[in-house]
Amino acid sequence: MKASDTKATLSFSNGGQPVDLPIYKGTLGPDVIDIRKLYAQTGMFTYDPGFMSTASCESAITYIDGDKGELLYRGYPIEQLATNCDFLETCHLLLYGELPNAGQKAKFTDTVTHHTMVNEQMQFFLRGFRRDAHPMAIMTGLVGALSAFYHDSTDITNPKHREIAAVRLIAKMPTLVAMAYKYTVGQPYMYPRNDLSYAGNFLHMMFATPCEEYKVSPVLERALDRIFILHADHEQNASTSTVRLCGSSGTNPFAAIAAGVACLWGPAHGGANEAALNMLYDIQKAGGVDKIGEFIKQVKDKNSNVKLMGFGHRVYKNYDPRAKLMQETCREVLGELGLENDPLFKLAMALEKIALEDEYFVSRKLYPNVDFYSGIVQRAIGIPVPLFTAIFALARTVGWIAQLNEMIGDPDYKIGRPRQLFEGSPKRDVKPISAR
């Protein structure tokens, strides 16, 4: 961390002793005020539920400029990565800090490819779930269960263990997501195929059956690969912070990633792609484009609790760059499948146009986020709506594990332990039950 010459001085209106706090500069983004010694110096904590102004860690992985609508993985703009690289190159970049050269790419791809099978006993674990279980319920269980199978990679203090756990997680997530899907539709699990790409293999495990040959469509393969790249990391979002906090206790990486899966499930986070598509279905059912005005009115009514799902973001106060790329992919996929006139896509475009011109959304800087279009793409590929968030989890696994390994590799890391402003009862005595 590079200390600035300027210091922040905290003064108190009651004449208490002012304290100087160091300021650090990152390579990009706002400076931070170091308050680690604040409690020792003043006996006070800071209060910031929701982390509105708090940097929870140092990181060199992903940078977002929310005002500009810019997203960089290890310095590279997401637009360049999505256009010039594939998902496994992006994984290499996030994990090791650099894009691979041809030899490194071949080696990394080979390693990931040769870790895609899961222990055969996973099938029996799956059988314990009801057939109508939500895929995220299944994924939370399956990912946590991996720790019971790989005792040789659960020691997070060992860098070799951390690396192999990262590879295993990236390699096995598609297999687990496809298994969760096949289980719910009652079809046989399809084993991974090593001659296919990461995205191609996932399509094969999802949609092939043992009865006939399945041909991977290059357009759909590329679209899925792009979905994976766009969701690969997003700095200190809720699920990543969950993974860091969970992992900070020294728990094994599979357990920490399972915590991330659980957090991602919520509709304010990864569950938004499912919620966005369901919202489009509801508007469609109610009458389609003609009903947009009525729907927007409900969204603006504070008492309705209706939100425009796939809109708004804690960090982006501009168009989410991933949403632009996803809209482009959406057109490509619908074109490939002959669905150019897809009513949901038309509805989404009309809704976006109206919202972007509406004072409510303009004044709050609410723009489409990545989830606004990703659901339409996934639905067109044939992915059922409840599986959307599981696919997000698959893609985000690399970000989670890269961030977890970065934290554990930092010699200064400590268990995460926030403080609180206590507003409950002061100390009191227990009365005998007859006197309560």
Contacting residues toward ligand ACO, per CB under 6 A: 268-270, 272, 299, 307-314, 364, 366, 369-371
Following CA atoms 98, 195, 119, 212 in sequence, which dihedral angle do they give, to the nearest 10 degrees? 140
410 is catalytic: no
DSSP 192-212: P-TTS-HHHHHHHHHH-BTTB
Instruction: Give whichever of 119 and 278 is closer to ligand ACO, judged by the CB atom.
Output: 278
Instruction: Give whichever of 167 and 326 is closer to ligand ACO, judged by the CB atom.
Output: 326
- Least separation, in Å, of the C-beta of 268 and ligand ACO? 4
Which of 225, 233, 320, 371 is flagged as catalytic? 371
Q: Evaluate whether 322 touches 233 at the Cβ level (below 8 Å).
A: no
Q: Evaluate whether 142 touches 126 at the Cβ level (below 8 Å).
A: yes
Instruction: Give whichever of 162 and 234 is closer to ligand ACO, judged by the CB atom.
Output: 234
Q: Evaluate whether 125 touches 141 at the Cβ level (below 8 Å).
A: yes
Which segments of 198-288 are extended strands (E)? none
Which 8-state DSSP code applies to residue 16?
Answer: P
> Would you tell me how many other CB atoms lie within 10 Å of the CB of residue 299?
20
Of all residues in the shown chain, the one whose CB is closest to ligand ACO is 312
Scored b (16 or more CB within 10 A) or e, 249-270 reads eeebbbbbbbbbbbbbbeeebb
313 is catalytic: yes
How far, in Å, CA of 210 to CA of 45, rounded?
60
- Least separation, in Å, of the C-beta of 305 and ligand ACO? 10
| φ and ψ of 111, to 5 deg | -65, -50
How far, in Å, CA of 388 to CA of 374, rounded?
9
Instruction: Give whichever of 259 and 366 is closer to ligand ACO, judged by the CB atom.
Output: 366
Residue 18 tokens read as 């002012």
Instruction: Give whichever of 366 and 391 is closer to ligand ACO, judged by the CB atom.
Output: 366
- Least separation, in Å, of the C-beta of 47 and ligand ACO? 17
Pairing outcome for strands 70-73 and 76-77: antiparallel
Which of 92, 233, 313, 320 is flagged as catalytic? 313
Instruction: Give whichever of 275 and 401 is closer to ligand ACO, judged by the CB atom.
Output: 275
CA atoms within 13 A of residue 379's CA, in its CB half-sphere: 21
- Least separation, in Å, of the C-beta of 265 and ligand ACO? 11
- Least separation, in Å, of the C-beta of 236 and ligand ACO? 13
Pairing outcome for strands 2-10 and 19-25: antiparallel
Output the CA–CA distances (angstroms, integers) from residue 215 to 95, 187, 192, 384, in the order listed: 31, 18, 14, 20
- Least separation, in Å, of the C-beta of 427 and ligand ACO? 35
- Least separation, in Å, of the C-beta of 16 and ligand ACO? 33
Instruction: Give whichever of 216 and 272 is closer to ligand ACO, judged by the CB atom.
Output: 272
Residues forming the active site: 313, 371
